[in-house]
Amino acid sequence: MGLGKPDNCLLVIFGGTGDLARRKLYPALYNLFVDDFLPDALQIVAVGRRFFTREGFHNEIVLPSLKAFSRRASNPDGHFASFIGRVHYFQADLYDQGGYTRLRQFIEELEEKSGCQGNRIFYLAVAPEHFGPVVRSLKETGLVPARGWQRVVIEKPFGHDLPSAAELNRQLRAAFSEEEIYRIDHYLGKEMIQNIMVIRFANTFFEPVWNNKYIDHVQITSAETVGVEDRGGYYDRAGALRDMVQNHLLQLVTLVAMEPPASLATEAIRDEKVKVLRSLQPLDAAAVSKNAIRGQYGAGEIDGQVVPPYRQEKEVAPDSTTETFVALKLFIENFRWAGVPFYLRTGKRLPVKVTEIILQFKSLPDILYFKEYGELRPNLLVIRVQPLEGVYVQLNAKRPGNNNYIVPIRLDFCQNCEVGVNSPEAYERLLYDVMRGDPTLFTRWDEVEAAWRFVDPIAAAWTARPPLFPNYAAGQWGPPAARELLIRDGRHWWQEDELLPERG
């Protein structure tokens, strides 16, 4: 990261014993500590309802989470003891006003001892329905405004439609300014997501061809092999459209499609992303029927293991009509991208775990090598986000030998393929940026608003037309209609098997 240490501050984590804190937040903070990126006087206060002594909290929650999920835990070198010396536990109920008053006293005493200078970050690692009440209690008990700067971090979902998102924003703005609200989208913390702008704007041979004159279409895939795991209750209310498309996938669209910003200043970048979202061609009911595909997985096999259908997952309704797969065809109505389709797909219980962006360039005229050697593969630029991180370009070249046979080749860079390479986790960069006060990788309210304006009509059209679920078996690439979405345009989804066309 190389940007220096942030100002001293105090980080309060509501939901301090929860899954997010254990799997992501404590390991990320520990990794930052080992790499010497945390403020010198940072103090961490975990707030939870359960009773723990401080030592018990360290031994039962923090240390197990670091050993299980930190990329630095295999070689502690005494860092454990130093790190947990900064971690405190405070027992309180989210709806107990007296608890907030006691928390304020605890924090003020801790700030006095540690020299945190009154700078405070409040991380709401709790369910979205608690955001408003927590923020209201912070204000009513004087925890905000802080003596120094203050920031609040919230996790998605940012509402379940535009009206609920607007209400949530109103509640947040009652205590915090827009500049103090950090809406976290962990996709934006991933290494290759941050690299998209660099690939585009720092390479002479990409930017001139990054338009509808040279690019045939764009594919964005985010596939998971897992089901809903322990998130059935939430997921059955949300579905893939709200859980993935409204935030993660549309964020990837903005980064691929945005115009060059006037500068690398935060607001200049965000302004260009919002312009993309506002340029999305709206989908009415007829367009949804044609260009929006939904699916729900049935029973099947993943990696040779039989898995149950979605409707038999824990906390899922036995007659659920929630989609676990979405494929969309969308257009951006501006001069750069007019006529270029963007194909998006995301789903659970798919054959492989992969997130990648593929830009397929237009084919050359059917002359020269086409006449002599048959159909050539199109040129591709592939940006791999996870699990592999990297980028490669697919070209055509002569195969060694005397027959002049042309084959596709790759110019390939993988930044996490080599032994010993251990890329920072997304939450490391995001937490570091919150402490630094850099909101570039966070979502501004008008981005959230524009994304919901695009997604809401799709959700409404689907609600009005009951689906026939399940319509794909676990281990398949979604329902057949997802393949037809491209086949009818004379295209196909590119897959991970050496980027051959999809089979079966």
CB 425 within 8 A of CB 31: yes
- Alpha carbons 164 and 151: distance in angstroms, whole number: 22
Asked about 248 being catalytic, the answer comes back as: yes
pTM of the predicted model, to two decimals? 0.91
| Domains annotated on the chain, with CATH | 10-155 (3.40.50.720), 188-487 (3.30.360.10)
Which whole number is the average pLDDT over 216-238? 92
Mean pLDDT, residues 461-486: 95
- For position 370, what pLDDT does the model report? 58
- For 341-429, where are the E strands, in sequence order? 342-347, 354-361, 380-386, 390-398, 406-414
pLDDT score at 74: 67
Tens digit of pLDDT for each residue in 265-274? 889 999 999 9
Which residue type is seen at 67?
Answer: K
Contact between residue 297 and residue 227 where contact means Cβ atoms under 8 Å apart: yes
Sheet bearing 215-223, strands edge to edge:
292-295, 325-330, 342-347, 215-223, 354-361, 380-386, 390-398, 406-414
The CA-based angle 156-147-155, given to 5 degrees, is 5
Whole-number Å distance between alpha carbons of 99 and 137: 10
**Residue 500's pLDDT is what?**
41
Q: What is the DSSP string of 435-504?
A: HHT--TTSB-HHHHHHHHHHHHHHHHHHHHS------EETTSSS-HHHHHHHHTTT---B-TTTTPBP--
For 282-323, the pLDDT digits (tens) are 999 999 999 999 999 999 998 889 999 999 999 999 999 999
- State mean pLDDT over 336-349: 97
**pLDDT tens-digit map of 89-109:** 999 999 999 999 999 999 999
Instruction: Out of 160, 186, 217, 248, pick the active-site residue.
Output: 248
Residue range 139-152, pLDDT digits in tens: 999 999 988 999 99
Residue 341 to residue 360: CA distance in whole angstroms: 11
User: What is the overall mean pLDDT for the chain?
Assistant: 90
SS3 429: helix
Question: How large a percentage of the chain has pLDDT more than 90?
Answer: 70
- The answer to whether residues 352 and 497 touch, using CB atoms and an 8 Å cutoff, is no
Model confidence at 399, pLDDT cuts 50, 70, 90, reads confident
What's the gap between Cα 68 and its chain centre? 22
User: What's the mean pLDDT in 398-405?
Assistant: 72
Which amino acid is it at 102? R
- Looking at per-residue pLDDT, the higher value among 136 and 2 belongs to 136
pLDDT score, position 231: 84
Residue 201, pLDDT > 50, answer yes
Q: What is the dihedral of CA 164, 167, 169, 174, to 10 degrees?
A: -160
User: Which of residues 328 and 74 earns the better pLDDT score?
Assistant: 328
Predicted local distance difference test score (pLDDT) of residue 371: 56
Q: Which of 59-63, 143-147, 271-275, 330-334 has the lowest mean pLDDT?
A: 143-147
**φ, ψ (nearest 5 deg) of residue 74:** -70, -15
DSSP sequence for 74-100: TS-TTHHHHHHTTEEEEE--TT-HHHH
Q: What is the average per-residue pLDDT within 442-452?
A: 95
Flag the least confident range among 14-18, 183-187, 380-384, 451-455: 183-187
Tell whether the model's pLDDT for residue 497 goes beyond 70: no
Least Cα distance to 219 among 504, 485, 416, 497 occurs for: 485
- Show the DSSP H helices in 23-181 as ranges: 26-34, 54-57, 63-69, 79-84, 97-114, 131-140, 162-173
**Average pLDDT in the 330-334 region?**
97
Asked if residues 43 and 11 have their Cβ atoms less than 8 Å apart, the reply is yes
Identity (one letter) of the amino acid at 475? G
Confidence of residue 366 (pLDDT cuts 50, 70, 90): low
CA distance 384 to 451: 24
pLDDT digits (tens, 9 = 90+) for 405-419: 777 888 888 877 654
- Asked if residue 121 has pLDDT above 60, the reply is yes
> How buried is residue 498: exposed, middle or buried, by Cβ count under 10 Å (0-12/13-18/19+)?
exposed
Average pLDDT over residues 234-238: 91
Say which range, 180-184, 232-236, 312-316, has the weakest mean pLDDT.
Answer: 232-236
Other C-beta atoms closer than 10 Å to the C-beta of 13 total 26
Strands 120-124 and 305-307 come out as unpaired
Does the pLDDT value for residue 400 go beyond 60? Answer: yes
Report the Cα 388 to chain-centroid distance in Å.
16
Asked whether residue 420 carries a pLDDT value surpassing 60, the answer given is no
Sign of CA dihedral 57, 59, 61, 62: positive
Task: Give the separation between CA 441 and CA 176, rounded to whole angstroms.
Answer: 19
Are residues 84 and 57 in contact, defined by beta-carbon separation less than 8 angstroms? no
Q: Is 239 left (phi over 0), alpha (psi -120 to 50) or beta?
A: left
Distance CA 247, CA 313 (A): 24
The answer, yes or no, to whether residue 503 has pLDDT greater than 50, is: no
Least confident of 28-42, 232-246, 405-419, 490-504: 490-504
pLDDT score recorded for residue 421: 46
Q: What angle do CA 488, 339, 262 make, to 5 degrees?
A: 140
Q: How large is the greatest C-alpha to C-alpha distance in the chain, in angstroms?
A: 83
> How many residues are recorded in the chain?
504
Question: How does residue 75 score in pLDDT terms, banded at 50, 70 and 90?
Answer: low
Which DSSP symbol is given to 338? T
For residue 471, the tally of other CB atoms under 10 A from its CB is 20
Distance in angstroms (rounded) separating the CA atoms of residues 211 and 196: 15
